[in-house]
Amino acid sequence: MDFRRFLAVLAFTASALSLDAQIKYRDASSLPLYGRATDSMENRYERLPDSLATSIRPELASLGRNSAGLYIRFRSNSSTISARWVNSSAFAMPHMADTGVSGLDLYTLTEDGWRYCGTAMPRHGTVENEKVLVANMTRKEREFMLYLPLYNGVRRIEIGTDEDATLEGPHKDSPRAGGQIVFYGTSILQGGCCSRPGMVFTSIISRALDRECINLGFSGNGRLEYEVAQVMAEVDNPSVFVLDYVPNCTAENIREKGETFFRIIRKAHPDVPVIFIDNPCYGHCHVDEEARKDVDARNEAQKELYLKLRKSGEKRIYHITTENTVGTDCESFVDGVHFTDLGMMRYAENLIPVIKRRMR
């Protein structure tokens, strides 16, 4: 190693040591966590209870260990917010940014609502990470929200602040806990393929409506499992259920299992509105005839289910059709199916007025 390179390494090491000396890390397990349907998990940062591990398909159980839609709330007067976290794996995908798969997103509450502060980018190919999310803030008390990874699990999170700064639970109930909006669905709902955790459409809706959302999206595995319906039924005080499973179901699957899935939820919550959503019109459906026929068949089965339930006397159910849910210019997709940030925003904007009218 030549002398100039040695000096550069020495300076970098000294800088890193200096930064570490200024940051005080504390385990986030003492801070409130939101976005879970139930608390009966061995690992705090999971979405499905451990009791289901042997009764559901392994693929679904594994996805339940992803932290999609979960967020930590806290308050601090620090000028810098950092994070140290350990993911469950070094999982990566070719069509989704590592920041969305395994990163963290920080928001702060302002007079104009929740505003983005910064993203903790994971190191590619590793599970242990440490990043500064935001720095150089004026020292004053602020409310923060830290979104967790969408397609990875989290074993441990520590939040870093200035050494003499406070770190405590939130003082404001925002997004409002209780009266949750409970979403069930597929890879798109889980977050595929937005660039960072705060951009999944359930989180966009949560900030817009100032209401806690529960994300039960399972990539490729939103197949109307009755066990998941039971988890949804056990949510204490839901405001509305949003069923967005069609992209993972065949028409036959919907006809076979859709009503029973609904009835499990309805038995537990007879007065809570339920919104059924069609399969979105994918980016290639305007040219791929077979893809369009497949989407149409699934949506027709969903419409049949909705009309059947209406005919049976169900009144507090609603149906969102596929038209214009992500615009008509075909620019909302990363691979023809999964949403970009643009697609997530358009989808959220389409759902927000419908959900707002139905929320209790």
Q: Domain of 83?
A: 23-168
Cβ-based burial of 9 (10 A; exposed 0-12, middle 13-18, buried ≥19): exposed
Q: What angle do CA 60, 66, 68 make, to 5 degrees?
A: 110
Q: Are residues 150 and 204 in the same domain?
A: no
Looking at residue 360, what is its pLDDT? 83
Q: Are residues 158 and 232 in the same domain?
A: no
Choose the final residue of a domain: 143, 168, 193. Answer: 168
Choose the final residue of a domain: 136, 152, 168. Answer: 168
Alpha carbon distance, N-terminus to C-terminus of the chain: 67
Q: Are residues 282 and 237 in the same domain?
A: yes
Q: How far apart are CA 343 and CA 310, in angstroms?
A: 30
The CATH number of the domain holding residue 288 is: 3.40.50.1110
Q: Give the three-class secondary structure for 346.
A: helix
Q: Are residues 94 and 219 in the same domain?
A: no
> Can you give the pTM of this predicted structure?
0.93
Q: Are residues 82 and 231 in the same domain?
A: no
328 within some domain:
yes
Choose the final residue of a domain: 138, 168, 198. Answer: 168
17 within some domain:
no
77 within some domain:
yes
Q: How far apart are CA 188 and CA 192, in angstroms?
A: 5
Looking at residue 7, what is its pLDDT? 44
Q: Are residues 161 and 306 in the same domain?
A: no
Looking at residue 12, what is its pLDDT? 41
**Can you give the pLDDT of all 360 residues of the chain as single tens digits?**
554 554 444 444 444 434 555 899 999 999 999 999 998 888 999 999 999 989 999 999 999 999 999 999 999 999 999 999 999 999 999 999 999 999 999 999 999 999 999 999 999 889 999 999 999 999 999 999 999 999 999 999 999 999 999 999 999 999 999 899 999 999 999 999 999 999 999 999 999 999 999 999 999 999 999 999 999 999 999 999 999 999 999 999 999 999 999 999 999 999 999 999 999 999 999 899 999 999 999 999 999 999 999 999 999 999 999 888 999 999 999 999 999 999 999 999 999 999 999 998
Q: Are residues 49 and 163 in the same domain?
A: yes
274 within some domain:
yes
Q: Are residues 221 and 269 in the same domain?
A: yes
Domain count, the chain: 2
The CATH number of the domain holding residue 110 is: 2.60.120.260
Q: Are residues 342 and 271 in the same domain?
A: yes
Residue 221's nearest CA partner among 185, 192, 196 is: 185
Cβ-based burial of 289 (10 A; exposed 0-12, middle 13-18, buried ≥19): exposed
